[in-house]
Structures are given as C-alpha cells and as structure tokens.
Amino acid sequence: MDTQKKSDEYSVSVFDIKQEKKDYDYIAPSQTADTLFSFVKEIRFLEQIIKNKKISARYCKENIEYLGLGIKEIAFPMKCFCDINMHRLGEHLWWYGYYGIAFSKKWGMAHGIQPLQYINVKSDLCKDFGMAFQCALKSNDKEHEALRDYLALQLMYLKPYSGIFKNRNTGEEKIKCFTDECEWRFVAKVSALGMDEIITNPARMSDGALTLMSNSLDGKNESSICFEYEDIKYIILEDMPAYHTFLSFINDSEEIEDIHKQRLISKILVWSEAKGDF
C-alpha cells in the first residue's frame, strides 16, 4: 500500500484546523443560560463595578485538601460567574448576594472567562492530578517549570463535587454541592503588579490580609475585565428600595454620560418583583 497516499488522505492542513476552530468558537447553549452572571452582597460593590466599567479580581481561598498535597488552602485572585438559568437563580442569590451584573456568554468567553472542571475526589483523575502536582512541586529542575505553571493554573480551575462553604449573606457554613453553581472563572495574572498569583502560606491568608491585597487590585486593568455599558445584558437588584437607591446613583453619577444612563436603567431587573415570572 502507498503509505504516502494513505497519510495524505488523513492529513489536515494547519489552515483547515484554524478554519474549523474559528467556525466553532461559540455555539449558544441549549441546557444552560446564554448569560454569565456575577453577584455581590452589597449594592455599593455593584455601583463601583458600574462606575469603573471594570470587574476586578479579588483574592479568594480554595480548600484543596482533597488532593492530598499536605496543603489545606490556597488563595489567588479571581472573579466568579455562573450560567444558571434565570428560573433557578434564587438559591444562588441566597448564597452569594442579590446584586448582580450579567453579560452574554459569548462576550465572557471572548474575555477569557473559563468554566470550572468539577472533580470527584475518589476518581483516578483526582489521584493522578494530586500525584503529578506533588512531583512537580518537589522537582527543582528548570525543565519542569512550565509543567509546574500549567498544573498550578489547572488547579485554579478545579473544584470538588461538594464541600463546606460559607454563605456570603448569613456567614453560616454549610455543606454544598458545588456543581449546582455552574461556575465560570476569570483568574487574573497579577505578577506585573508585583502581586502573588497564588498564595500557599496560611499566615498570609487571614481575611484582613486578603482584603488588603484585593483592594490593591481594584480598578486596575491588569487585574480586571473591562467592559462598555452596551456589553451589559442585565443588572439585578434585590428589591424596590435597592432600585431607588441605584436609580439615584445612576442619575447623580458624573462618571456616566447622560446617553448611557437610560440604557443602564433599562437593563435593571428587580428580583423581588420578577422572580415569580421565571
């Protein structure tokens, strides 16, 4: 048999691969929302996002005991989103806060927002990842530096199927099925700002220390996703008192041009009024 001919039959040019990738960059989902939501627990945080036209990452702790690395927690700068359908958002708001901003999923993907990989802690995948990460950490070989960086980045997009989580609204800790969150993440690259991209030292992970570090990232392009007002799909507010507060903020704001004010107001969804319609 002519091996060259057989090889040609199955070969694909670089151009063909690039063209195929371009055609499938984005396909609208049929089972989840075609929207990425991000929620905060106080209206002032939402107002800051709107004013700055930036969603800034904040240092958050993640429990990684399930990997068996001898490390309980790590912290790194991220911003979380979800693609939960509107009619199922109620419980998510109860956990995370009733003030939100939403963008199209296509927009989010174009800005590098990535869905998480949920992992069964009893799976071979979990065991193998833990072993590979441990080997990479122990190696001082410069040739393994790229591997260490890759595994560290992969770790930032992993989450166990379930675990203990603190409710942002009540402060109460409960066991939670994390796959219910349908989480996507933006992980900021902050080394250019002289900040740590990942923290493993427990002494540097107090709530106060993480808040200080997070505040230093606020409003900086390097640690934020920047947007224009026309990119916003929804603005979610808890109730009518919050609506009137937010309306005053929009109308009184000197940073927001008049041409954009009505457009922003038109995107508001008051949860207490609308939740029964979904």
How many angstroms separate the CA atoms of 36 and 103, rounded?
5
User: What would the 3-class secondary structure string for 27-46 be?
Assistant: CCCCCCCCEEEEEECCHHHH
Neighbours of 184 (CB within 10 A): 21
Neighbours of 8 (CB within 10 A): 9
Q: What confidence score (pLDDT) does residue 250 get?
A: 97
Strand pairing report for 35-40 and 99-104? antiparallel
At position 263, the amino acid (one-letter code) is R
Residue 79 near residue 58, CB atoms below 8 Å: yes
Q: What is the pLDDT of residues 26-83, one digit of tens each?
A: 899 999 999 999 999 999 999 999 999 999 999 999 999 999 999 999 999 999 999 9
**Is pLDDT above 80 for 21?**
no
The answer for residues whose C-beta is within 8 angstroms of residue 117's C-beta and 6 or more apart is 157, 158, 159
Q: What is the pLDDT of residues 171-199, one digit of tens each?
A: 999 999 999 999 999 999 999 999 999 99
Instruction: Output the average pLDDT for the chain.
Output: 91
Residue 27 in tokens: 């396909």
pTM of the model: 0.88
Neighbours of 250 (CB within 10 A): 18
pLDDT winner (highest mean) among 12-21, 140-149, 165-174: 165-174
Which class for 99: exposed (0-12), middle (13-18), buried (19 or more C-beta within 10 A)?
buried
Residue whose token pair is 């530096």: 145
Neighbours of 177 (CB within 10 A): 11
**Is pLDDT above 60 for 3?**
no
Residue 67 near residue 133, CB atoms below 8 Å: yes
Which of helix, strand or coil describes residue 176? strand
Least confident of 22-26, 78-82, 232-236: 22-26
**Is pLDDT above 70 for 201?**
yes
